[in-house]
Amino acid sequence: MSVASGAGEVRQTVGLSHAAEGIAAIVRDTLEVGEARCAIVLGSGLAGLVSRMEGVRTVPFGELEGLPEATVAGHRGAFIAGMLGGREVVALSGRIHLYEGHSAAVATLPIRIMQALGAPILLLSNAAGGIRRSLGLGELMVIADHLDFQWRKGVALSAKRLQGSAVVYDADLRRRLLASAVATGARASEGVYAAVLGPSFETPAEIRMLERLGADAVGMSTAPEARLGHALGMRVAAMSCVTNKAAGISGEKLSHAEVLHAGMAAAEMFSAVVEEFVRGLE
């Protein structure tokens, strides 16, 4: 890397940090956010968690200068604050995807905003295609690690970019998620998530490749957010809701509408697990 390009990365990082702090200040004032114990990103069809929150306050992306509006069905695109399981949380209902044409810097800006709001824990969620044969529809998969095939560089964190642990997903939080699943009677296991760019579903050949590489489920998000949250010093956990069998596993035609339907069908179980998880946070 040249000195000039390195300086450019630092300037970009500083600019993003300032933008995130400015938007976070607006979100904090608008939603009256105090000390958020956990930041939660809600994936496709999983926004039903909001119905379990008390004192809900909402601000759409469109009202926050610097954030693009969400364009994907099932992704509302809003910051939400409220109480869940007796803890104050801030949630992202919907996310910004790389496949919508945004850079990694823009797609992960909401993570910087939630970190600027002071949330020490980041819980990511997504709807995913099941690759591991034992994963059933509607089952939850706590992400132990990921394979990132999105081929998009994250925004460097200056001198910190090569520091820190390569283990992104906090082991204690993973145990807590699995324990929360047991407590609520939900079906859950750990696994490896493969992040691909999309927006098209994977071909059967691609699924066979991912299966041989050790992926248990596949989706089009999460990995860049997890990396950035970890790099920013947040404790990161993530959970997939298996909404379909990946191409070549079931032999059935896939559609985003069916993914949303399956996600909403499993939303109650997902929401119960997340509420139990948040309730158990110190």
pLDDT at 2 over 50: no
Give Cα 152 to chain centroid, integer Å.
Answer: 16
Alpha helices in 32-126 (DSSP H): 104-107, 109-116
Residue 11 has pLDDT above 70, yes or no: no
Using a pLDDT cut of 70, give the percent of the chain over it.
80
User: Which sequence positions are flagged as catalytic?
Assistant: 44, 75, 97, 99-100, 127, 220-221, 244, 256
C-alpha–C-alpha distance, residues 251 and 169, integer Å = 32
**Confidence tier at 217 by pLDDT (50, 70, 90):** very high
Neighbours of 133 (CB within 10 A): 10
Where is average pLDDT lowest: 77-86, 104-113, 255-264?
255-264
Say what the pLDDT of residue 255 is. Answer: 61
- Answer yes or no: is pLDDT of 50 > 80: yes
Q: Would you state the pLDDT for residue 154?
A: 56
Query: How much is the CA Rg of the chain, to the nearest whole Å?
Result: 18
Q: What are the structural domain ranges in the chain?
A: 3-279
CA nearest 41: which of 96, 88, 116? 96
Cβ-count burial 143-158 (b if 16+ within 10 Å, e if not): bbbbbbbbebebbbbe
pLDDT of 12? 53
Say which residue, 19 or 82, is predicted with more confidence.
82
Q: Worst-scoring range by mean pLDDT, 16-25, 103-112, 184-193, 260-269? A: 260-269
Pick the CATH number of 3-279 from 1.20.1440.230, 3.40.50.1580, 3.40.718.10, 3.40.50.150: 3.40.50.1580
Q: What is the mean pLDDT of the chain?
A: 85
Which of 50-64, 69-83, 148-162 shows the lowest mean pLDDT across its residues? 148-162
User: pLDDT of 105-138, one tens digit each?
Assistant: 888 999 999 999 999 999 999 989 999 999 988 8
pLDDT of residue 261: 66
User: What confidence tier does 144 reach under pLDDT thresholds 50, 70, 90?
Assistant: very high
